[in-house]
Amino acid sequence: MSNGTVAAAPADYLSTGGGLGAWWSSRDHKKIAMMFLGLITSAFLVGAIFAVYLKLRMAAGGAPDLAAYHKTMTMHGVAMVFLFLVPALPMVIGYFTLPLQLGARNMALPAFSQVSLRLYVLGLALVILSVFTGAASSGWTLSFGGGFMLVMGLGLVCMGVSWALTGINFLVTVHHKRADGMGFFQMPLTAWGLYLTGYLLTAAGFIFAITVFYLSASMSFGRGLFGPEASPLDWLNYFWFVTTPAAFFALLPAVGVISDMIAGISRKALAGYRLVVGAMIGLLALSFVTWGVHMLGTGQADVVSFTFAFFNLLTVVPVALIVFCWLSTLYRGAVLCATPTTFVVVFLINAGIGAVMGLFLSSLSVGSYLANTLFATAHAHYVMMGGVTTALLAGLHWWWPKMTGRLYSQGLGRFSALLYLVGLNLAFFPQIIMGAKGAPQGAFTADPSLAGLQTVSGIGMMVLLLAIVLIAVNLIRALLNGEEAGSNPWSASTLEWSTTSPPSADNFEARPTVGDPYVF
Amino acid sequence: MDFGSLTGLVSVKPFLGAQGLSSWFPEAASEHAGGVDGAFLGILAAAAFAVVLVVGLAMTFIRRFSRSDDTETGVDTGRLSYPLMGVFVLGAVALAGFSFYVGMDGFLDRTVAPYGAYEIDVTARQWDWDFTYPNGYVADTLHVAVGQPVKLVLKTEDVTHGLSVPAMRLSKTVLPGLDAETWFEATVADTFTLRSNRYSGEGYSTMQTALIAHGDGDFQAWLTAVSDIFAGRTLEEVGELLYSTKGCKACHSLDGSKLVGPSFKDVYGNTFDTREGVQVTVDDAYVKESILAPNVSVIAGYEPVMTPYEGNITDREIEAITAWLKTLSVHTPADAAGQEEN
């Protein structure tokens, strides 16, 4: 691209549109994504503040106010799972990259993007409001009735509808907005992950909204239409039928993001591209038939537990295929030595530990023993903080030069990635050991034999938070006065790197030419 | 199959050492614990190998094939190596299959208690436990005998609860309206922590009690001792207790109101017409007859419908009930033809 065309280029999306009001009323997918990034970070901070309270309370020992403790635990889980982890990748990475990767000017349904964002804001406000109007102490699985309030329920209903609208938006965008000549098998894998997630978001989002609506209505008005107290096994089935795929809202885009990054940092075509697509479709299918592994020992028939454990273990086949393709891509690649590479390695370690922990929980005798212990808590945190959040951070460090047009400090980036790895493992590996010792999930226990492990875990959480602060400082500093990134700082191949950084409001000046996604 | 032996099979023990092993688990105090621990350690070794292999390969490739300048591209090695892929995927399937297999026996084993297992009913509520023994005695701690399989039949009075005894590797969830069963056999005589591990509301963290495993016949001695209702009670207090526990209160009021049977208020020492038209005075002999063979002489106005207690109550318990009935009556014991209580 010559200097002449740069001078004539339209203004980028960050410098058009001015004030907050203009951003709020914008339907540009990039602005929607950046607003989601701000909101989702706020939700994360809310969840993190509750987590800090829980750790400090545990460290202080003595006799706590148990009602406050369990309400805080409930709010920590609800904020982190439903407001941060489930929507983070689709809403931030998804809204930003999907049209760019497809060579489109915007999402197919810009009004849906906007309504989805506004429902998220409303839901977030209602959930935070519920802390003040009477916090729920239901646990994040909402499986215990006491104190489950209408306000939080309505907030979660907004979330469910927001997910579903985004899902429909992804599906229609992929079907109608691909650049001329781009077939399904010329789509980059991030776009594939988002497309498949579109099905999950649509199905699970609506079911989640309806289920939570019935639940909160029956609890608030005392009619046992539906809910854990009226029919406990039915409630568990509905809840896990929805939330098991919900974990894959985050995991399928994560697979796509890491695949694109591995192809980009290796500067070669992703080995086994179609195999990875097939494996992702396999994961999508399996996500709908594995919910019962969350219900071992709850009174579901033994043969049912058996079947679910079997399906859950089947997920190793697609996962193994994907990992093999990643390793084959790195082999004899021209591998970039930069922050995104460090994040890919951190992802492999954290998500790898999270994945193999699933083997313990699916092994029926061991799983029945560990199911309600801190081992399960640690598993959830390795999958969510280790897998999903690491993938989100990796994606942010990969696309930040595209989002902002600026480069962040590589030294600080790599240091904070390693600090994140250390903090996460210090925080959650002790929980694996405590779980094996039988320490119960979600309880305030003043067990002196576990005090040392609790302290290590608490220190780990502080390190983890420090890493996140450093990451935020690095990225924000880049946005304010970072070095110009240029259109393609990583020499990557997919369409979003062919346009300016940050892109103009219309993304592309000319219709992009389309071939295979990974041609360097 | 004894999965305890898996520990040796996968050679974890030499690496971790006895110290390392004991740091993973609580004391193993049931015949079931060894199998769970062995399966856990087997999966741990295999899983650690898998993670180290994948991360190690990735880091090796990143270091070995690092980019020298921005124009360099990776070498497209053509088709994937299918034999290697086969090995990789089969390895993963073997890992999953191994995990599934080692957990199967221990799980199936839990589903049906051995024939003749000692049965204890467990009632969970917010936020404590009741343990009911076969003789009807109710305790708030769980006592068992070492070497005897114990079958627990769990029910909950309110929300979902989870019963957990880590030392037994025992964990069972019970849902409202769905009774649950599990069993275990203690191998070590000691006191262990028994607690709830399923969030049940704001008092969840305090829902904790003890499992006491007794050795060498101590269990029967304990049960006999605590089941002796006469210990530490006056005769009258025992009578009042029996009124509740033997089912009397369903049909006999204490306030004079008429239920299925006559009220116990002011009944002792009083004189009634029977259905047969005979007059009786309620004395010790009549009380005893009315408990053991209640439908022989029934007070007029009531149906002969009471269950005879012959064989289900001792003479001493009848004495206790009689003594208690006297305290409920305005008719002095001297009016009756009975003997003085002592």
- pLDDT of res. A139: 77
| Inter-chain touch B178–A444, beta carbons under 8 Å | no
Total-model pTM: 0.84
Looking at the DSSP assignment, which residues form a beta bridge with residue B162?
B173
Q: Which two tokens stand for residue A303?
A: 């043969």
Residue A36's Cα: distance from chain center in Å? Answer: 13
The DSSP-derived string for A255-280 is: HHHHHHHHHHHHTSPPTTHHHHHHHH
Contacts of B85 in chain A (CB under 8 A): 272, 321, 324
Q: Which two tokens stand for residue B329?
A: 């009556």
Kind plus residue range of the DSSP H or E element containing B118: strand B118-125
Q: What are the E-state strand segments in chain B?
A: 118-125, 128-132, 138-139, 142-145, 150-156, 161-165, 170-174, 180-184, 191-196, 208-214, 271-273, 279-281
Amino acid in the structure at residue B135:
N
Is residue B80 within 8 Å of A275, Cβ to Cβ? yes
pLDDT, tens digit (0-9, with 9 covering 90-100), for A397-455? 999 999 999 999 999 999 999 999 999 999 999 999 999 988 898 888 767 778 888 88
Is residue A124 within 8 Å of A91, Cβ to Cβ? no
| Inter-chain touch B65–A266, beta carbons under 8 Å | yes
Residue A135's Cα: distance from chain center in Å? Answer: 25
Contacts of A440 in chain B (CB under 8 A): 162, 164, 195-197
| Distance (Å, whole) CA A272 – CA A430 | 37
- Out of A277-286, A490-499, B309-318, which region has the weakest mean confidence (pLDDT)? B309-318
Burial of residue A246, with CB atoms counted within 10 A of its CB: 0-12 exposed, 13-18 middle, 19 or more buried:
buried
| Inter-chain touch A334–B72, beta carbons under 8 Å | yes
- Out of A10-19, B140-149, B207-216, B285-294, which region has the weakest mean confidence (pLDDT)? A10-19
Q: What share of chain B is helix, strand, coil (3-state, %, to 5)?
A: 40, 20, 40
Which domain range does residue B89 map to?
3-67+77-111
For all residues of chain B together, what is the average pLDDT? 83
- Nearest Cα neighbor of A138 from A124, A126, A151, A120 is A151
- pLDDT of res. A451: 82
| Whether pLDDT at A468 is above 90 | yes
Q: Which chain B residue's Cα is nearest to A352? A: B51
Name which of A266, A369, A450, A518 to mutate to probe chain B: the one with the most chain B Cβ atoms within 10 A of its Cβ.
A369
pLDDT, tens digit (0-9, with 9 covering 90-100), for B25-42? 888 888 888 888 889 999
Q: What share of chain A is helix, strand, coil (3-state, %, to 5)?
A: 70, 0, 25
Domain boundary among B227, B250, B272: B227
Is residue B133 within 8 Å of B122, Cβ to Cβ? no
| Distance (Å, whole) CA A149 – CA A212 | 11
Q: Which two tokens stand for residue A112?
A: 């849906």
We report the CATH number of the domain holding residue B161 as 2.60.40.420
Q: Which two tokens stand for residue A269?
A: 């075509």
- pLDDT of res. B12: 38
Is residue A128 within 8 Å of A191, Cβ to Cβ? no
| Distance (Å, whole) CA A4 – CA A510 | 15
Query: φ, ψ for residue A179 (rounded to 5)?
Result: -60, 155
Q: Which chain A residue's Cα is nearest to B208? A: A445
User: Would residue A61 be called left, alpha or beta, if left means φ above 0 and alpha means ψ between -120 and 50 degrees?
Assistant: left
Contacts of A341 in chain B (CB under 8 A): 62
- Considering the domain architecture, whether residues B53 and B131 belong to the same structural domain is answered as no
- The pLDDT of A295-302, averaged and rounded, is 71
| Distance (Å, whole) CA A467 – CA A459 | 12
C-alpha dist (Å) from residue B98 to A150, A313, A432: 46, 10, 21
| Inter-chain touch B43–A366, beta carbons under 8 Å | yes
Please report the residues numbered 248 through 267 in chain A whose beta carbons come closer than 8 angstroms to any beta carbon of chain B.
266-267
- Nearest Cα neighbor of B163 from B151, B153, B171, B175 is B171
Contacts of A425 in chain B (CB under 8 A): none
Residue with tokens 């916090």: A135
pLDDT, tens digit (0-9, with 9 covering 90-100), for A33-74? 999 999 999 999 999 999 888 888 877 777 778 888 888 888
- pLDDT of res. B202: 81
CB within 8 A of B65, min separation 6: which ones? A266, A330, A331, A332, A333, A334, A335, B74
| Inter-chain touch A443–B76, beta carbons under 8 Å | no
- Considering the domain architecture, whether residues B81 and B182 belong to the same structural domain is answered as no
Residue B298 lies in a domain: yes
pLDDT, tens digit (0-9, with 9 covering 90-100), for B56-82? 999 999 999 988 877 778 877 767 888
Residue B342 lies in a domain: no
Amino acid in the structure at residue A299:
G
Count of CB atoms situated within 10 Å of the CB of A42: 15
Whether residue A448 has a cis bond before it, omega within 30° of 0: no
CB within 8 A of A480, min separation 6: which ones? none
| Inter-chain touch B199–A229, beta carbons under 8 Å | no
Name which of A140, A240, A324 to mutate to probe chain B: the one with the most chain B Cβ atoms within 10 A of its Cβ.
A324
Q: Which chain B residue's Cα is nearest to A450? A: B23
| Whether pLDDT at A148 is above 60 | no
Is residue B169 within 8 Å of A369, Cβ to Cβ? yes
Domain boundary among B187, B202, B227: B227
Task: Pick A356's closest partner by Cβ from B51, B104, B109.
Answer: B51
Residue B340 lies in a domain: no
A437 touches chain B (CB under 8 A): yes
CA angle A487, A488, A490 (to 5 degrees): 155
Determine the distance in angstroms separating the CA of B42 from the nearest CA of chain A, rounded to an integer.
Answer: 10
Is residue A142 within 8 Å of A476, Cβ to Cβ? no
Contacts of A443 in chain B (CB under 8 A): 195-197, 199, 204-205
C-alpha dist (Å) from residue B275 to A505, B282, B296, B297, B305: 101, 15, 10, 7, 13
| Distance (Å, whole) CA B217 – CA A459 | 49
| Inter-chain touch A359–B96, beta carbons under 8 Å | yes
- pLDDT of res. B21: 46
Residue with tokens 């002095």: B332
Strand-pair category, B180-184 with B271-273? unpaired
Q: With bands split at pLDDT 50, 70 and 90, how would you rate the model's confidence at B10? A: very low
- Nearest Cα neighbor of A361 from A346, A383, A345 is A383
| Distance (Å, whole) CA A443 – CA B166 | 15
Torsion sign across C-alpha atoms B89, B92, B94, B97: negative
pLDDT, tens digit (0-9, with 9 covering 90-100), for A102-140? 999 999 999 999 999 999 999 999 999 988 887 777 777
| Distance (Å, whole) CA A420 – CA A61 | 27
| Distance (Å, whole) CA A166 – CA B83 | 41
Q: Which chain A residue's Cα is nearest to B71? A: A491
The DSSP-derived string for B257-308 is: ---SS--STT-TT-EEEBTTS-EEE--HHHHHHHHHSTTSS-BTTS-S-PPP
Fold exhibited by the domain A25-249? Cytochrome C Oxidase; Chain A (1.20.210)
We report the CATH number of the domain holding residue B331 as 1.10.760.10
Amino acid in the structure at residue B48:
A
Task: Pick B173's closest partner by Cβ from A139, A297, A327.
Answer: A297
Domain tally, chain B = 3
Contacts of A144 in chain B (CB under 8 A): 159-160, 199-201
First to last CA, chain A: 17
- Nearest Cα neighbor of A204 from A256, A168, A255, A150 is A168
Domain residue limits, chain A? 25-249, 372-496
Domain boundary among B201, B227, B253: B227
Q: Which chain A residue's Cα is nearest to B197? A: A440
- pLDDT of res. B334: 52
Kind plus residue range of the DSSP H or E element containing A377: helix A374-381
Residue B253 lies in a domain: yes
| Whether pLDDT at A7 is above 80 | no
Q: Which two tokens stand for residue A118?
A: 């506004």
Burial A359-374 (b: 16+ CB within 10 A, else e): bbbbbbbbbbbbbbbb
- The pLDDT of B314-321, averaged and rounded, is 88
Name which of A258, A356, A379 to mutate to probe chain B: the one with the most chain B Cβ atoms within 10 A of its Cβ.
A356
pLDDT, tens digit (0-9, with 9 covering 90-100), for B143-167? 999 999 999 999 998 888 999 999 9
- Considering the domain architecture, whether residues B100 and B140 belong to the same structural domain is answered as no
Please report the residues numbered 133 through 162 in chain A whose beta carbons come closer than 8 angstroms to any beta carbon of chain B.
137, 139, 143-147
| Distance (Å, whole) CA B218 – CA A449 | 29
Is residue A277 within 8 Å of A321, Cβ to Cβ? no
- Considering the domain architecture, whether residues B212 and B278 belong to the same structural domain is answered as no
Looking at the DSSP assignment, which residues form a beta bridge with residue B150?
B118, B184
- Considering the domain architecture, whether residues B283 and B203 belong to the same structural domain is answered as no
Q: Which chain B residue's Cα is nearest to A295? A: B173
Task: Pick A327's closest partner by Cβ from B57, B71, B199.
Answer: B57
| Distance (Å, whole) CA A122 – CA A125 | 5
CB within 8 A of A65, min separation 6: which ones? none
| Inter-chain touch B95–A359, beta carbons under 8 Å | yes
In A180-272, alpha helices (H): 189-220, 232-266
Q: With bands split at pLDDT 50, 70 and 90, how would you rate the model's confidence at A222? A: low
Contacts of A325 in chain B (CB under 8 A): 80
- Considering the domain architecture, whether residues B203 and B265 belong to the same structural domain is answered as no
Amino acid in the structure at residue B5:
S
Q: Which ipTM score applies to this complex?
A: 0.89
- Considering the domain architecture, whether residues B241 and B222 belong to the same structural domain is answered as no
- Nearest Cα neighbor of A124 from A98, A91, A171 is A91
Q: With bands split at pLDDT 50, 70 and 90, how would you rate the model's confidence at A486? A: confident
- Considering the domain architecture, whether residues B183 and B125 belong to the same structural domain is answered as yes
Count of CB atoms situated within 10 Å of the CB of A8: 8
| Distance (Å, whole) CA A209 – CA A215 | 10
| Inter-chain touch A443–B51, beta carbons under 8 Å | no
- pLDDT of res. A223: 58
| Inter-chain touch B77–A365, beta carbons under 8 Å | no
In B78-134, alpha helices (H): 82-111
Is residue A279 within 8 Å of A415, Cβ to Cβ? no
- Nearest Cα neighbor of A212 from A193, A227, A200, A230 is A227
A316 touches chain B (CB under 8 A): yes
- Considering the domain architecture, whether residues B212 and B134 belong to the same structural domain is answered as yes
| Inter-chain touch A144–B199, beta carbons under 8 Å | yes
Q: At what angle do helices B33-64 and B13-24 cross, to 10 degrees?
A: 120
Task: Pick B75's closest partner by Cβ from A268, A345, A444.
Answer: A268
Contacts of A444 in chain B (CB under 8 A): 205
Task: Pick A372's closest partner by Cβ from B46, B92, B164.
Answer: B164
| Inter-chain touch B85–A321, beta carbons under 8 Å | yes
| Distance (Å, whole) CA A50 – CA A71 | 10
| Distance (Å, whole) CA A481 – CA A407 | 9
| Inter-chain touch B159–A310, beta carbons under 8 Å | no
Looking at the DSSP assignment, which residues form a beta bridge with residue B180?
B154
Amino acid in the structure at residue A460:
G
Residue B207 lies in a domain: yes
Amino acid in the structure at residue B62:
I
